Amino acid sequence: MKLPGHDAIARQTGDDLVTRRVKLPRRVVERPLRQVAKRLLMALAVLVATALIVYADRAGYRDNSDGPVDLLDAFYYATVTLSTTGYGDITPVSDGARLINILVITPLRVLFLIILVGTTLEVLTERTREEWRLNRWRSALRDHTVVIGFGTKGRSAVQTVCATGLRKEQVVVVDPSSKVIDAATAEGYAGVMGDATRSEVLTRAEVHKARQIIVAPQRDDTAVLVTLTARQLNRSAKIVAAVREEENAPLLKQSGADAVITSSGAAGRLLGLSVLSPAAGMVMEDLIQQGSGLDLVERPVVRAEAGKSPRETDDLVVSVVRGHRVLGYDDPSLGTLQLTDRLITIVRATPGARVTPHPRPLPGG
């Protein structure tokens, strides 16, 4: 397999610096044009209301140029007053008009200014607010799941993990495409835009604090480099990687992956099984779809099961994880179950069911 050169990996452009940032999920807001139109209508309403108030009390105002105040003068006065221009050519002369200016016109002037500068204030405060959210997110993020590549494989993987009870707030998606990151944040995941082969991008995703890492890029050589970088940053995380070609699977394991899934090979084997037995193919597809029908679940041995054989448990036990070995349920060396064992069972899926994750990487067999 041909890997890109070191110089190509280390090259860093200005565009990368701009796009390599964290995006957190946010609530859906109105479109900018609609917000601007709404604020303009509000400002116009305040202007009309002020003009009508002045016109209704026009006897208390004096126009220094021609004396009486008409409707046009009222709108003119409202405009220069709300904009704080204040030429002074039209002034309130009666006590009632001055009182209305104090109690009504002045609050309307303040409201008018707030509406006009609201957009500017929002822009000025958005960066500070986003920085505060990001700092709070970083400080609270622990034992999370990092998904590198949010294509078909990455999306399906994270949906499967979330079906076992993992909260979306505990998932961080890394992808070089801004559109993909926007799609991930729209679904409730945090996103980091950038090349995952660079350690600074993975650091932004807090890979060094992650419990498990799913590597599912489009290219096998990218998967190798990402796995190497992720393992260097986090020695204890469980890393599961996907490759297209089976010949690249050993290289992924040498790079630090705990488990390697060959996407093309797995799909081909499922197709072959479906040809030999469509029913068996349906069962296998059901097993790999977490949260519906039958599920494969790994769980610890409970005290009541200790000392029994796998067949004597209530669940259908497929394998037993003991230490660094995965033993079949009928393995002669298995003997009876121990409290330190973990069982891989087939159970009927129930809504809200949670899977207790193993603190160590799954043994390779």
Q: What is the pLDDT of residue 97?
A: 76
Beta pairing partners, 90 = 63
Q: Which residues of the chain have a pLDDT value below 50?
A: 1-20, 28-29, 354-355, 359-365
Q: What is the pLDDT of residue 16?
A: 43
- Return the residue matching tokens 């960066």: 127
Distance CA(297)–CA(249), nearest Å, equals: 25
Q: What is the pLDDT of residue 257?
A: 92
DSSP codes joined into one string, 238-278:
EEEEEESSGGGHHHHHHHT-SEEEEHHHHHHHHHHHHHH-H
- Return the residue matching tokens 């590549």: 149
Distance CA(288)–CA(6), nearest Å, equals: 38
- Return the residue matching tokens 């297209």: 244
In one-letter notation, the amino acid at residue 43 is A
Ramachandran region of residue 165, left (φ > 0), alpha (ψ -120 to 50) or beta?
left
Q: What is the pLDDT of residue 14?
A: 42
Q: What is the pLDDT of residue 20?
A: 46
Q: What is the pLDDT of residue 13?
A: 42
Is this prediction's pTM over 0.85? no
CB 50 within 8 A of CB 115: no
Q: What is the pLDDT of residue 291?
A: 66
Q: What is the pLDDT of residue 67?
A: 76
